Amino acid sequence: MGKVWKFQDAKNHFSEVVEKAIHEGPQFVSRRGVEAVVVISVKDFKERTKPTTSLVDFFQNSPLFGVELELERKNDLS
């Protein structure tokens, strides 16, 4: 776990919080003694949010894969 900053300290030392997030890992910010937010690097964010499978794999592994759907469109444009 990274450092926990009090909100006011994080505001006053924002550039340091950002540098530490980039080089040392997530930085937690508390407000009124309760952890409120986490500052992380873009690299860490992308690693944590990237999909684990491709969209094609997702649909192929769906329980609905192979189910025939009957889709109709109305010709009325209004």
For 49, the enclosing helix (H) or strand (E) is helix 42-49
Q: Which domain holds residue 10?
A: 4-60
The answer to the question of residue 75 being in a domain is: no
The answer to the question of residue 65 being in a domain is: no
The answer to the question of residue 74 being in a domain is: no
pLDDT at 27: 97
pLDDT at 21: 96
The total of structural domains in the chain comes to: 1
Sheet (strand 34-39) strand order = 4-6, 27-31, 34-39
For 11, the enclosing helix (H) or strand (E) is helix 7-12
The answer to the question of residue 72 being in a domain is: no
The answer to the question of residue 24 being in a domain is: yes
Name the β-bridge partners of 22: none
For 69, the enclosing helix (H) or strand (E) is none
What are φ and ψ of residue 30, in 5° steps?
Answer: -105, 150
CATH number of the domain that residue 33 is part of: 3.40.1620.10
Three-state DSSP at 7 gives helix
* Ranges of residues in the chain whose predicted pLDDT is under 70: 1-2, 78
The answer to the question of residue 77 being in a domain is: no
